Amino acid sequence: MCGILAVLGCSDDSQAKRVRVLELSRRLRHRGPDWSGLYQNGDNYLAHQRLAVIDPASGDQPLYNEDKTIVVTVNGEIYNHEELRRRLKNHKFRTGSDCDVIAHLYEEYGVDFVNMLDGIFSFVLLDTRDNSFMVARDAVGVTSLYIGWGLDGSVWISSEMKGLNDDCEHFEAFPPGHFYSSKLGGFKQWYNPPWFNESVPSTPYEPLAIRRAFENAVIKRLMTDVPFGVLLSGGLDSSLVASITARHLAGTKAAKQWGPQLHSFCVGLEGSPDLKAGKEVAEYLGTVHHEFHFTVQDGIGAIEDVIYHVETYDVTTIRASTPMFLMSRKIKSLGVKMVLSGEGSDEIFGGYLYFHKAPNKKEFHQETCRKIKALHKYDCLRANKSTSAFGLEARVPFLDKEFINTAMSLDPECKMIKPEEGRIEKWVLRRAFDDEERPYLPKHILYRQKEQFSDGVGYSWIDGLKAHAARNVNDKMMSNAAHIFPHNTPNTKEAYYYRMIFERFFPQNSARLTVPGGATVACSTAKAVEWDASWSNNMDPSGRAAIGVHLSAYDGSNVALPMPPPLKAIDMPMMRGQGVVIQT
């Protein structure tokens, strides 16, 4: 992930202002350590910190159209850039960068071109012909982006809060699926798929449709000119990403450049569930597997850095970000610059354990819609910023636009969790990849119960965090919490501890308003807490708070979920690379 910063329409075009913009842009250098760029046109500044993944030799930014009247600074990847180049036959491109198409698309189609982009992106475009500008963010907010306003009437844009929080009177998260136009004078929603209105769909479940859509989502994300790998926790989602990547890697440009052996990465405490499962899946797929161990003390020592980089005080996000942050540093040290990850599946398919309590298919579907819309505040934030802290890019195939549309058009009755029928969480996804003839995964991995990342790295991780917070936050501090933190008042010592650190880095009121709040159990929304009244006595975002559902629940009420009956093989035409297992 790159880092972008823009100051638009400021009242100061002095050298001192230019120096200040460069200084603020350097706060984002961890995101893009490969090159820096700055463009100034009067009272407009566009800065860029580049992580070179596509066309490292010539794709430095900002990018321009032919006569340099349109200037763009971009963070992201445009997976359909070759198709878009073919549409722009009369345009000449300066680089091989996938993002080079943006200025030309604007020139050809105006501001409404954004929906043509298939990828993840945040960009600022300046049209010097009339001194207008536009800003856009991808559909669900995989890339991070903030917008702020200065007292002088200037508009500020930054990939992270730290790039603008000290210089803006007010700032906020830029809404996903929107663009901001100076000509329109505000935001316009460009991403408005059928599922957005939360009405209950009725498309029958077809396993092949889900399988093909997800395989296509993974394959298009193998576009890279640098070494890459997959994050492999051994859970369903990351294991499917790894399995599909292993099957299709051999025929790709990436394999020709960097070899056909897929590298996989896993992190955890010694003896954790993820390390054991990840190793087993890696051996099954024949990946070059890298295991990283950390201790509870390692994680506690990184908490301040994690909060500074991830820019949140949300308990769930910090718990899960810390192992990912530590792992990202190790991965980057191996020379890897891009990884595929499994975020988004639980939101789309109702994979969190509290979905066991969904009372009907309407409630189930509406909760998945709410979860996807909020991803940019939670898992996307974690995946993007935990990795980019060390100049590592995370790509998330489950959040592919076409795949989301396919999965969210299903009649939610087929997603409902019914253990008595062998239908555990994410049954429709598991069933789609349950192929007896050409197995994607071992059966027990394919049907492994959901583990939230912060749990799977080792149960003692969360327990250790709670104990550390209890040593640093006393009862007297908690009794005054509502007076010290009237907004999103922390209700646990762990939450209070994180909040103190966050406020030290980001003391502005705008900063604290960017973080979500509300009651949650096992990562639910506040609405879903209503599904089971007993949960109100055990409000914790860990999956183990799903009492009576999680196999290692906090209260010891372990449950046994039945394994579904054997399934017949799904007849599927052979796809490119299908059935190929890379051996070490």
Residue among 115, 159, 106 at smallest CA distance from 134: 106
Measured CA angle at 191 (ends 187, 192), to 5 deg: 110
Give strand pairing partners of 146.
Answer: 158, 173
- Residues recorded for the chain: 584
Closest among 406, 413, 407 to 364, alpha carbons compared: 413
C-alpha–C-alpha distance, residues 259 and 226, integer Å: 11
Q: Does residue 459 contact residue 472 with C-beta atoms inside 8 Å?
A: no
Contact 90, 42 (CB under 8 A): no
Query: What is the rounded CA–CA span in Å between residue 286 and residue 247?
Result: 11
Report the side by side order of strands in the sheet with 44-50. 35-41, 44-50, 3-8, 155-158, 146-149, 170-173
Neighbours of 18 (CB within 10 A): 16
Count of Cβ atoms closer than 10 Å to residue 201 Cβ: 14
Question: Mapped to the 3 state alphabet, what secondary structure does 83-124 carry?
Answer: HHHHHCCCCCCCCCCHHHHHHHHHHHHHHHHHHHCCEEEEEE
In 3D, which of 272, 316, 238 has the Cα closest to residue 457? 272
Q: How far apart are CA 46 and CA 40, in angstroms?
A: 6
2, 10, 168, 380: the catalytic one is 2
Confirm whether 2 is a catalytic residue. Answer: yes
Q: What letter represents residue 182's amino acid?
A: S
Catalytic positions are 2
